[in-house]
Amino acid sequence: MGEKIVLTGIKPTGDLHIGNYIGAIAPAIELSNQADMRPVYFIADYHALTSMQNAEELHNRTYEIAAAWLSFGLNPEKVLFYRQSDIPEIFELNWILSCQTSKGLLNRAHAYKAKVEENLAAGRDPDAGVYMGLFNYPVLMAADILLFQANLVPVGKDQIQHVEIARDIAETFNRTYGETFTLPEALISEDSAVIPGLDGRKMSKSYGNVIPLFVDEKKLRKLIFKIKTDSKPPEEPKDPNDSILVDIYRAFATPEEIADYEQKFREGIGYGDAKQLLFEAVNRKLEEPRRRYHELIHDKERLNQLLENGAERAREVARPFMNDIRRKIGKY
Ligand code: TRP
């Protein structure tokens, strides 16, 4: 079967942590290297505007994301890698699609619905604090996806509904104006590793339990030594399936190393030694990207150049298709 266009947007919010790397960055980069994939990965900087109104923060986060993905080996020759805001066609399509999107469909979108429910529970006006950006978020996302004729959209579970909305909008448009858009499908990696944070809960910025991706070696070791363990003495056998250390180790080591590590747990290993081994495995994976990241983040000109080249190539795809869409709606 032919090539598949695989497209995903990366919102430039929050500090990246090893959970982001294991759950999103690593699998997406791996996917992008498959021969039968045409990867389109972009920084959804205008989507971030719904929650980020600090100019400096949006600016910095955008470059941080670009540097991070490149430092983990994203190949800008193979991947169409650009910044959403550099593609004006997306925003034109956004409007056209919004005219094919019923308000009722967007009323049912999770993020908006949750906000309304929260307001109602607090006795406020249902739309208190709701901005049109939040409400229309799924339409902009549909424009991102449909403009590039994506077949597959790798996303986390929380974004499945958005991909379904994009599909619905595409179907409506196709019915109105004739076959135009490819219907996208969400791609959820089933075993998408959710790695635990320092306290054993899912690693998440909101829990304050993260191991940031690009901290120096000393800090990384310190954080790993902070991971919560119980008070079993070193020689006591430990269940490898009941340890945060093993859970994290599994995401960073080879199958043989993992088997070996698990065996050590069953035989009894002190937590200090186990943490040292974990640190070494994590650090081995991160040290090269960390070095590259720090190099890149100080070279904004180079990052900018890369993103602009990406946008130029993306627009070569978007322009003719947008012309086609314009003709279909009657602009000719
Ligand atoms: N909404 C996505 C998120 O919050 C980011 C995103 C924007 C996206 N546009 C997209 C993802 C298009 C996939 C396809 O993570």
**Which residues of the chain does CATH 3.40.50.620 include?**
4-194+300-329
Given the CA of residue 141, which atom of ligand 1 is nearest to it? Answer: 9
Across the chain, mean pLDDT equals 95
Per the annotation, the verdict on 285 as an active-site residue is no
Query: What is the mean predicted confidence (pLDDT) over 154-171?
Result: 96
Query: What is the mean predicted confidence (pLDDT) over 260-270?
Result: 97
How confident is the model at residue 192, as a pLDDT?
A: 55
**Residue 196 dihedral angles phi and psi, to the nearest 5°:** -75, 155
Per the annotation, the verdict on 113 as an active-site residue is no
pLDDT band at 14 (very low <50, low <70, confident <90, very high): confident
Q: Residue of the nearest CA to atom 10 in ligand 1?
A: 9
**Which residues of the chain does CATH 1.10.240.10 include?**
214-294
pLDDT band at 191 (very low <50, low <70, confident <90, very high): low
Distance, in Å, from the CA atom of 108 to the CA atom of 320, rounded to the nearest integer, reads 33
How confident is the model at residue 1, as a pLDDT?
A: 63
Q: Residue of the nearest CA to atom 6 in ligand 1?
A: 9
Distance from the alpha carbon of residue 37 to the mean position of ligand 1, in angstroms: 19
Tell which one of 5, 13, 62, 141 to mutate to probe ligand 1, the residue whose CB is within 8 A of the most ligand atoms.
Answer: 141
CATH architecture of the domain with range 214-294: Orthogonal Bundle (1.10)
Tell which one of 144, 160, 181 to mutate to probe ligand 1, the residue whose CB is within 8 A of the most ligand atoms.
Answer: 144
Residues at CB less than 6 angstroms from ligand 1? 7-9, 11, 44, 47, 141, 144-145, 153, 155, 159, 162
Distance from the alpha carbon of residue 10 to the mean position of ligand 1, in angstroms: 6
pLDDT band at 184 (very low <50, low <70, confident <90, very high): very high
As a whole number of Å, the end-to-end CA separation of the chain is 35
* DSSP letter for each residue of 92-154: HHHHHHHTTS-HHHHHT-HHHHHHHHHHHHTTS-TTTT--HHHHHHHHHHHHHHHHTT-SEEE
Helix (H) or strand (E) holding 89: helix 88-98
CB burial of 145-154 (b: ≥16 within 10 Å; e: otherwise) equals bbbbbbbbbb
Distance from the alpha carbon of residue 162 to the mean position of ligand 1, in angstroms: 8
The answer to whether 182 and 170 have CB atoms below 8 angstroms apart is yes
- The answer on pLDDT for 194 being more than 80 is no
Distance from the alpha carbon of residue 141 to the mean position of ligand 1, in angstroms: 6
pLDDT band at 189 (very low <50, low <70, confident <90, very high): confident
For the domain covering 4-194+300-329, report its CATH number: 3.40.50.620
Query: What is the mean predicted confidence (pLDDT) over 274-302?
Result: 97
pTM given for the model: 0.93
249: left (phi over 0), alpha (psi -120 to 50) or beta: alpha
Given the CA of residue 44, which atom of ligand 1 is nearest to it? Answer: 7
Tell which one of 5, 6, 7, 11 to mutate to probe ligand 1, the residue whose CB is within 8 A of the most ligand atoms.
Answer: 11
How confident is the model at residue 204, as a pLDDT?
A: 87
How confident is the model at residue 206, as a pLDDT?
A: 86
How confident is the model at residue 193, as a pLDDT?
A: 63
pLDDT band at 205 (very low <50, low <70, confident <90, very high): confident
Distance from the alpha carbon of residue 156 to the mean position of ligand 1, in angstroms: 9
Per the annotation, the verdict on 202 as an active-site residue is yes
